[in-house]
Structure 1
Amino acid sequence: MEKKENLVFIGNPGVGKTHLVIALGIEACHQGYRTLFISCHELLLRLRSAFEKGTVDRILRRYARYDLLIIDEIGYLPIQKVEANLFFQLLTMRYEQKPTLITTNIILSR
């Protein structure tokens, strides 16, 4: 948390990636950090909805404020270009400011 580093958990389905990030999130909560766990699909739906309503800046700031953001299952479902751009904006806002944990079963080269 202090180093504000991001972590990506990559592995096959069923190896415990989600379990690990939940445990880290619970520990962060115990230490007083504001933490959010959200599936990538749910996050993208919320970002797209805010984009369509014209409130995307507000929602991006909201997610950027969490001390720890945990995004589960990136790459499980296809990501549209608009969603990818919004996701990139969020990660850019958090970069070197607040840590983000990500789980995926997609290898980094993909």
Structure 2
Amino acid sequence: MSDTPQVLLAHHLKALRLPTFLREYDKLARQCAAEGVDHSRYLLRLAELEMIDRERRTVERRIKEARFPAVKSLDSFDFAAIPSLNKTLVLELARSEYVTRRENVIAVGNSGTGKTHIALGLGLAACQKGLPVGFTTAAALVNELHEAHDEKRLQRLQRQLAGLKLLIVDELGYVPLSQTGAELLFEVFSQRYERGSIIVTSNLPFDEWTGVFGSERLTGALLDRLTHHVHILEMNGDSFRLKHSRGQIVEEQPPQEPD
């Protein structure tokens, strides 16, 4: 019978979804008793542990749901290698307040300059704020939209995308879109206008986007919506990947024999 309170307490804490309470209450009770801490401060410590653990689990869930191809933080980005990039603006964006204001971010620059890394870093920062984030490439999103359209579930997919506070669309411009694909992607962007934030990365300047969407009218309407509330990150410079490859080639070359 002496174990009954503990059994019932464990049952209730599980039902209330308080796993940290369940795991820590006994150990913390002994610690607080040894320190002479009163019951209210004991409960406060337990509640704080539960809150911290719950926030950690929320962040982990958000990161998993975002479907990042890799988890990268801004701490590991080499800002010195891309002088054209406004580091102050990027660090300000990492606070994720632009998401609350439903503003957009467009990172434009030649290939290999770290646009995806920046997008992933900003996405991770938003997840750490507990915000729902989704990551995809433009080509993958268009394919997904095509499939949903053909399978009569387009509206459901559109609702799922609309539920994201931040949608990251990587590599816009790498693959030209069909007319239907361009219209489907435009619809996604249009539905998010002033309702949710978008991060877009592209290797093309804006005046070349018509070649991707195949229509000046559609491109103009898209840019009008995307750039109404926007932060533009210019990322032109030498390719990180090319630099790395060159460095490896130099390291792997055998030393030359003297003539």
What range describes the TM-score normalised by the shorter chain of this pair?
over 0.9
- Counterparts of residues 2-81 of structure 1 (less than 5 Å): 2-81=100-179
- TM-score of the two chains, using structure 2 as the length reference: 0.42
1:20-54 CA-to-partner distances (Å, cap 9, x unmatched) read 01000000000000011111111011000111112
Structure 1 position 91 matched with structure 2 position 189: yes
Using the alignment, how far apart are the partners of 2:148 and 2:139 within structure 1?
14
- AA aligned to 1:25 is G
SS in 1 for 2:113: coil
Out of 63-72 and 51-60, give the one that drifted further: 51-60
SS in 2 for 1:44: helix
Runs of 4+ in 1 over 4 A off after TM superposition: none
- TM-score of the two chains, using structure 1 as the length reference: 0.96
Using the alignment, how far apart are the partners of 1:4 and 1:59 within structure 2?
20
User: Is there any run of 5+ residues in structure 2 with no aligned partner, and where?
Assistant: 1-98, 209-259
The alignment's C-alpha RMSD in Å is 0.8
Structure 2 match to 1:107:
205
Using the alignment, how far apart are the partners of 1:59 and 1:100 within structure 2?
16
SS in 1 for 2:175: coil
SS in 1 for 2:100: coil
- AA aligned to 2:147 is S
SS in 2 for 1:42: helix
User: Which structure shows the higher strand fraction?
Assistant: 1
1:47-86 CA-to-partner distances (Å, cap 9, x unmatched) read 0011111211111111111111000000111101111111
Using the alignment, how far apart are the partners of 1:6 and 1:18 within structure 2?
15
User: Which structure shows the higher helix fraction?
Assistant: 2
Q: Give 1 or 2 for the bigger CA radius of gyration.
A: 2
Using the alignment, how far apart are the partners of 1:14 and 1:24 within structure 2?
18
SS in 1 for 2:134: strand
Using the alignment, how far apart are the partners of 1:54 and 1:48 within structure 2?
10
Using the alignment, how far apart are the partners of 1:81 and 1:64 within structure 2?
22
